[in-house]
Amino acid sequence: MNINTIILQHKRVCNLVVRRKIKQGFDIMADMLDNVTVGSMRDEFNELQMTYMNILKYTVEGINDPERQKIYLKLIQNILRLTDRIKQDILAHNSGWYTYSVRAREQQEERYRGGSIIQSVDDLVFKSRLDDLLSSAEIEQPGSGSETTAETERLSGIIFNHLWLTDYYGEAEESLMDMLIRSGRFEWHDLASFVSAITLSSLRIWDTAKVRLLARLTADNTPHVAERAITGLIFTLYYYDDRLSLYPDVIKMVKKLASGASFRERSRMVVLQAIRSRDTEKLSRRMNEEILPKVVKLKPRIEEKLDLDRILSEDTEEGQNPDWSDMFSGSEEMFRTMEELTNLQMEGSDVYMSAFSGLKRFDFFRELRNWFIPFFPDHVAVDSIFRDEILGPGINELAEALYKTPFICNSDKFSLILNMKYLPADQKSLMLKVFRMELEGLEQMKYDNELTDPAAVFRTTVTQYIHDLYRFYKLSDFKNEFDDLFTSRLDIYNSLFYREACGSVADDRSLADYFFSKEYYDDALSLYLTLIKSVTDDAELYEKTGYCYQMAGKYDKALEKYSMATLIEPKSWTLRKTGLCLRKLGRPLEALEVYLRVLQNEPDDLGTILMTAHCCLDTNKYDEALKHYFRVEYESPGNVKVLRPIAWCYLMTGKFSEAEKYFERLAGSGLTPYDKINMGHLALCQGQMPKAVTLYMSAVEGGEMTTEAFVNAFNDDISVLTGHGVSPEDLPIVLDYVLMSLGKAE
């Protein structure tokens, strides 16, 4: 059985059903049912078909049933639920995935325990309270503390798996998190990991009970719980966006959450950070292919100049390291790149993915739950370093500094700790020195950030968590069992959830402008088009919309938006863009009129002068074009590129000696194949056929131009040549001579 086929069939059914194409969905479901092990699913399928047939019959017969729409909606929900269950049953028995092997093991162990998870938690809480009573009565109970800790850890793993692998939550699961939080027996990091388990479960199979639970946890005050809950909620509602309209109770819940300004603001942070993750792969490639090779070359200077005592962070009040400019002298591009990466890091971009991607092979990461545990100094992975001769004495400072640094996600912090055991002794000593000196600075930075930005903790936690999720989906051994959210556009702003929760004009404008600044023009355009439906008198809005269209090569639509912007507020910038679009659309006369209009306002703008010259060239106004090109040449004497159109204009106007002078000047900076062709044209017009042939051949012999491209360029200019007196009968001879000579040379 092909598991990928089953997954695709499931997606196809869901897509058809939400679009109300029920019959087609039923046909695919019938095929999937041949592979299920639970016979009752076939009976349920037949009942759904019968119910749908009755709805169709009553509708066609004109029977008025005020409850019909409710029944129809419930039917669709039940079809989707059955389709999900069919998929899960087939995967459980045929995929061989880790997910279902863990579920089978947990179910077997639960049967051996003879009790539910709730009972296990109750037993642990009772035992804990009994230990407290015995301790307060000073009754000796050796080892009870460590036994309780071990039992808590064991039970945490069971709870995580239960929340992750339960398909549909009942009353027990809905109250479990409340009980776990109230019990006081589970640390914040355990509770945070449980929220991740709920998220994984809700992404695996849709269940409104899970959505409600995540929504409730967004208001919890336990560290990392609310951050993970709101991230999980948003990702789930985005993933199931096509279903959301079928669940009015969920939409009602979202609206209620969105009535609080805090939820809307936090949602925007999550959405923005999710979108930033789209840059991760590009940043990783850039680090590996562009930046790291340059850093290796600069290594001697870096070791000499960099202040290694401040490796984890810098005092944000101090600004840039003044030594950077010296260190990167002669490497200004590298300096700018490092500065850019620092800024990206500060705003939450994932600049460390490439550095830590190779450090996920430890046994620690073979346990799925460990990808979702927040880093904390007392974790057993940290405790193991106590036995290290060098690291052991300083492990407290090391772990505390690593815990507090905001720029490294939890998964990477564990990677760093686990890898330290294998470092040479001198590197271990250096790391300890660095972390000890960083601890005080990190504490101060954390205090300053929280003082100036109340949302700093939430933003940092969400950023780290999304980086953790990204690593799980991209690097874990389990990644093939999960539908990778990060391969999608993550255009959460287009989802029904976002429109209901954060879809105000101000929210859309802020997000659109962020996209625009990051050159995500497709994303920005989507939001700008929504905005101009309600905001009709904002010139800048139309300008940016036009620019997005322009960058997509849709010049007609860009022209439309630029024209609207000009009507509201005429600006030279907008007019220049209008002229550009007109020229791209093959309307040079109109473009020329626009550029001449701009020149009246900005007579000294070289860009406008140059574009005006191009339009004159396009419309065969060569003398006018020359006037403007001469102006550019005068104002920008080092610009050799302007010599090319000047030489061409002289050629077109029959001023061959002037054209020859400019071609000679151009030759001093290197000729392109097209320059050589144009010089060949000039020689041909001057009656110097042998010289022309030599120039034509040189255009191809350099290897920069193919023979086919040469022939096309030559044929395009036949009218130019004949217009200057070259015999039409000579041209085929010249062309064939060049081609045959080139053939012999090869």
190 touches 163 (CB < 8 A) = no
More confident residue, 126 or 613: 613
Band (194; pLDDT cuts 50, 70, 90) = very high
Spatial CA neighbour of 663 closest among 674, 649, 675, 681: 675
CA angle, 503 then 509 then 512, to 5°: 100
What is the radius of gyration, based on Cα positions, of the chain?
A: 35
**pLDDT at site 151:** 77
Band (446; pLDDT cuts 50, 70, 90) = low
Model confidence at 166: pLDDT above 80:
yes
**Interhelix angle 673-685/643-652, nearest 10 degrees:** 30
The DSSP annotation for 149-174 comes to: HHHHHHHHHHHHHHHHH-SS--HHHH
**pLDDT at site 307:** 41
What is the number of structural domains in the chain? 3
**12 and 117 together in one domain:** no
The continuous run of DSSP H or E covering 511 comes out as helix 505-517
Domain assignment present for 576:
no
183 touches 121 (CB < 8 A) = yes
Spatial CA neighbour of 180 closest among 202, 203, 154, 152: 152
Q: How far apart are CA 743 and CA 746, in angstroms?
A: 5
**pLDDT at site 281:** 86
**293 and 229 together in one domain:** no
**285 and 316 together in one domain:** yes
Model confidence at 335: pLDDT above 90:
no
- Biggest CA-to-CA distance, the chain: 118
For 287-299, the pLDDT digits (tens) are 777 766 665 554 4
Band (21; pLDDT cuts 50, 70, 90) = very high
349 touches 283 (CB < 8 A) = yes
For residue 223, CA distances in Å to 187, 190, 198, 382, 453 come to 10, 11, 17, 20, 17
**434 and 324 together in one domain:** yes
Single-letter amino acid, residue 646: I
Q: Write out the residue range of the structural domain in which residue 415 sits.
A: 280-457+474-486
For 552-585, the pLDDT digits (tens) are 999 999 999 999 999 999 999 999 999 999 999 9
Domain boundary among 69, 95, 121: 95
Residue that the structure tokens 């998870």 belong to: 117
- Three-state DSSP class for 63? coil
**pLDDT at site 146:** 58
Tokens representing 326 are: 């010296």
**89 and 230 together in one domain:** no
Q: What is the dihedral of CA 139, 141, 142, 144, to 10 degrees?
A: -140
**pLDDT at site 317:** 43
Of the chain, the end-to-end C-alpha distance in Å amounts to: 56
Tokens representing 234 are: 């948003």
Q: Looking at the whole model, is its pTM more than 0.85?
A: no
Model confidence at 516: pLDDT above 60:
yes
Q: What's the sign of the alpha-carbon dihedral 123, 129, 133, 134?
A: positive
Model confidence at 232: pLDDT above 90:
yes
**237 and 302 together in one domain:** no
More confident residue, 349 or 522: 522
Identify the weakest region by mean pLDDT among 39-48, 385-394, 564-573. 385-394
Q: How far apart are CA 33 and CA 468, in angstroms?
A: 37
**pLDDT at site 599:** 94
Single-letter amino acid, residue 719: S
Tokens representing 419 are: 């890898």
Q: How far apart are CA 130 and CA 366, in angstroms?
A: 36
Residue that the structure tokens 């004949």 belong to: 722
Domain assignment present for 612:
no
For 77-94, the pLDDT digits (tens) are 999 999 999 999 999 999
Band (304; pLDDT cuts 50, 70, 90) = very low
For 105-157, the pLDDT digits (tens) are 988 887 776 666 666 666 655 455 445 443 444 444 444 455 667 777 888 99
Question: Quick count: other Cβ atoms within 10 Å of Cβ 224?
Answer: 23
Tokens representing 313 are: 């962070």
Cα atoms in the Cβ-side hemisphere of radius 13 Å centred on 401: 23
Band (311; pLDDT cuts 50, 70, 90) = very low
**pLDDT at site 70:** 92
Domain assignment present for 318:
yes
Spatial CA neighbour of 611 closest among 596, 622, 601: 596
Q: How far apart are CA 278 and CA 486, in angstroms?
A: 7
Domain boundary among 70, 95, 120: 95
**165 and 207 together in one domain:** yes
Tokens representing 380 are: 């057993």
Arithmetic mean of pLDDT, 7-14:
97
Question: Quick count: other Cβ atoms within 10 Å of Cβ 126?
Answer: 10
Residues 6 or more apart from 111 whose CB is under 8 A from it? Answer: none
Tokens representing 76 are: 């669709």
Tokens representing 629 are: 């090109």
Helix (H), strand (E), coil (C) string for 374-424: CCCCCCHHHHHHHHCCCCHHHHHHHHHHHHHCCCCCHHHHHHHHHHHCCCC
Band (280; pLDDT cuts 50, 70, 90) = confident
58 touches 71 (CB < 8 A) = no
**237 and 316 together in one domain:** no
DSSP state at residue 485: G
**190 and 125 together in one domain:** yes
**90 and 128 together in one domain:** no
Domain assignment present for 463:
no
Residue that the structure tokens 């001697």 belong to: 300
Domain assignment present for 351:
yes
Domain assignment present for 218:
yes
For 368-387, the pLDDT digits (tens) are 999 999 999 888 888 777 67
Tokens representing 473 are: 């989906």
Question: Quick count: other Cβ atoms within 10 Å of Cβ 593?
Answer: 13
Domain assignment present for 329:
yes
Residue that the structure tokens 């920005």 belong to: 524
Question: Quick count: other Cβ atoms within 10 Å of Cβ 193?
Answer: 25
**pLDDT at site 438:** 64
More confident residue, 280 or 208: 208
Model confidence at 504: pLDDT above 90:
no
Spatial CA neighbour of 650 closest among 642, 659, 663: 659
**81 and 127 together in one domain:** no
Band (355; pLDDT cuts 50, 70, 90) = confident
Domain assignment present for 395:
yes
Mean pLDDT score of the chain, rounded to an integer?
A: 86
**309 and 370 together in one domain:** yes
Model confidence at 316: pLDDT above 50:
no
Q: How far apart are CA 99 and CA 648, in angstroms?
A: 70
Model confidence at 497: pLDDT above 70:
yes
